[in-house]
């Protein structure tokens, strides 16, 4: 009994695989091996459908007012592949297009301001070039910012912690304070620079200062929150993306001059959050399986003379 049944199954599986391979509607970026796994019909998914799945999986209510919206392209276009990035820069869009990833999920704005408003940029040649590239390659861009942060735990902080190997260092009851093995400010800053692939890291505070209580304030969360963290006795260093230089920077300079063990590491916005989007790509793979998903690093936009 066993042999004929197995043989029948092999025949059916082979027919299904052949059918899928012959179907001209198979998306060009479909995962190799899908047919071998016994899928009869090729799976189709649109950008809008992927976003709906993200809304179902992110674990926090979807806000009525949010920057997490489509920024360019047709949301109902069939997705061949997904590129996840910190920033949909022209360079990242080019890499995504070359790899056949026509749906780009970006953490930060595409068009140079928080709401991606193009008013005031009419006739701008840089904007026009970017828009033309997106259109020419049939790409769709969607921003995933507010809700990736609102997720518990914050998806960006979790991703950066993973990148740094700090998963087990999160202080119980805290969302963003880590107790790391004691080191010096200089060594910590060097470690961050290496692990986060930063070109430029700026540090305020005394290099030999001992640090172990680290608050993570990724991106541009604002000086008020950064200073509030620095006021705490159980925090000695704040890691931030960016800050107005005359606010938190000067607060820490005065704290150090007053003999207090306080420090600030300005990682740069991209360096402070990029690993959080690398993690987002892995998270997406858990419930988007029809198409390939690839993280594309935007990298540090800055350089500094030696
Ligand atoms: Zn962010």
Q: What is the pLDDT of residue 117?
A: 95
Note down the domain range covering 254. 167-269
Q: Report the separation in Å between the CA atom of 52 and the middle of ligand 1, taken as the mean of its atom positions.
A: 21
Q: Report the separation in Å between the CA atom of 218 and the middle of ligand 1, taken as the mean of its atom positions.
A: 7
CA nearest to 135, candidates 72, 45, 69 = 72
Q: Report the separation in Å between the CA atom of 105 and the middle of ligand 1, taken as the mean of its atom positions.
A: 13
Domain identity same for 52 and 140: yes
Q: Report the separation in Å between the CA atom of 223 and the middle of ligand 1, taken as the mean of its atom positions.
A: 15
Q: Report the separation in Å between the CA atom of 261 and the middle of ligand 1, taken as the mean of its atom positions.
A: 28
Q: Report the separation in Å between the CA atom of 144 and the middle of ligand 1, taken as the mean of its atom positions.
A: 9
Q: What is the pLDDT of residue 43?
A: 77
Q: Report the separation in Å between the CA atom of 273 and the middle of ligand 1, taken as the mean of its atom positions.
A: 6
CA nearest to 276, candidates 80, 79, 105 = 105
Domain identity same for 117 and 33: no
Q: Report the separation in Å between the CA atom of 156 and the middle of ligand 1, taken as the mean of its atom positions.
A: 7
| pLDDT exceeds 60 at position 39 | no
Q: Report the separation in Å between the CA atom of 23 and the middle of ligand 1, taken as the mean of its atom positions.
A: 41
Domain identity same for 108 and 12: no
Q: Report the separation in Å between the CA atom of 272 and the middle of ligand 1, taken as the mean of its atom positions.
A: 8
Domain identity same for 171 and 217: yes
Domain identity same for 127 and 208: no
| pLDDT exceeds 90 at position 29 | no
Q: Report the separation in Å between the CA atom of 39 and the middle of ligand 1, taken as the mean of its atom positions.
A: 38
pTM for this predicted structure = 0.85
Would you say residue 119 lies in a domain?
yes
Would you say residue 242 lies in a domain?
yes
CATH assignment of the domain containing 120: 3.40.1390.30
Q: Report the separation in Å between the CA atom of 217 and the middle of ligand 1, taken as the mean of its atom positions.
A: 10
Write down which residue in 121, 151, 181 finishes a domain.
151
Q: Report the separation in Å between the CA atom of 279 and the middle of ligand 1, taken as the mean of its atom positions.
A: 13
Domain count, the chain: 3
Would you say residue 229 lies in a domain?
yes
What confidence tens digit (pLDDT) does each residue in 118-148 have?
999 999 999 999 999 999 999 999 999 999 9
Q: What is the pLDDT of residue 13?
A: 39
Q: Report the separation in Å between the CA atom of 24 and the middle of ligand 1, taken as the mean of its atom positions.
A: 40
Q: Report the separation in Å between the CA atom of 270 and the middle of ligand 1, taken as the mean of its atom positions.
A: 9
Q: What is the pLDDT of residue 15?
A: 36
| pLDDT exceeds 70 at position 21 | no
| pLDDT exceeds 60 at position 37 | no
Q: Report the separation in Å between the CA atom of 116 and the middle of ligand 1, taken as the mean of its atom positions.
A: 15
* Token pair 């950066």 in the structure block, residue: 160
What confidence tens digit (pLDDT) does each residue in 248-298 have?
999 999 999 999 999 999 999 999 999 999 999 999 999 999 999 999 999
Q: Report the separation in Å between the CA atom of 18 and the middle of ligand 1, taken as the mean of its atom positions.
A: 45
Q: What is the mean pLDDT of residues 78-102?
A: 98
Domain identity same for 29 and 51: no
């Amino acid at each position: 009994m066993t042999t004929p049944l197995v043989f029948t199954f092999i025949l059916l599986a082979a027919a299904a695989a052949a059918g899928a391979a012959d179907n001209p509607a198979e998306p060009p970026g479909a995962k190799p091996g899908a047919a071998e796994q016994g899928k009869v019909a090729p799976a189709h998914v649109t950008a809008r459908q992927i976003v709906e799945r993200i809304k179902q999986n992110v674990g926090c209510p979807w806000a009525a007012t949010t920057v997490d919206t489509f920024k360019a392209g047709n949301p109902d276009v069939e997705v061949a592949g997904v590129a996840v990035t910190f920033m949909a820069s022209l360079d990242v869009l080019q890499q995504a297009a070359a790899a056949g990833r026509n749906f780009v999920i970006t953490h930060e704005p595409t068009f140079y301001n928080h709401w991606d408003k193009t008013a005031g940029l009419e006739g701008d040649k840089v904007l026009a070039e970017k828009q033309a590239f997106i259109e020419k390659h049939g790409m769709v861009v969607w921003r995933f910012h507010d809700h990736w942060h609102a997720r518990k735990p914050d998806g960006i902080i979790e991703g950066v912690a993973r990148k740094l190997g700090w998963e087990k260092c999160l202080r119980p009851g805290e969302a963003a304070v880590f107790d790391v093995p004691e080191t010096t400010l200089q060594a910590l800053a060097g470690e961050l620079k290496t692990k986060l692939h930063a070109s430029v890291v700026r540090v305020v505070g005394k290099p030999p200062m001992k640090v172990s209580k680290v608050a993570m304030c990724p991106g541009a969360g604002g000086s008020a929150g950064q200073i509030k963290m620095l006021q705490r006795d159980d925090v000695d260093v704040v890691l931030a993306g960016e800050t107005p230089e005359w606010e938190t920077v000067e607060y820490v300079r005065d704290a150090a001059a007053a003999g207090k063990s306080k420090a600030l590491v300005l990682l740069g916005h991209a360096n402070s959050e990029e690993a959080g989007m690398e993690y987002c790509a892995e998270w997406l793979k858990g419930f988007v399986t029809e198409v390939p998903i690839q993280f594309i690093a935007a990298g540090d936009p800055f350089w500094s003379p030696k």
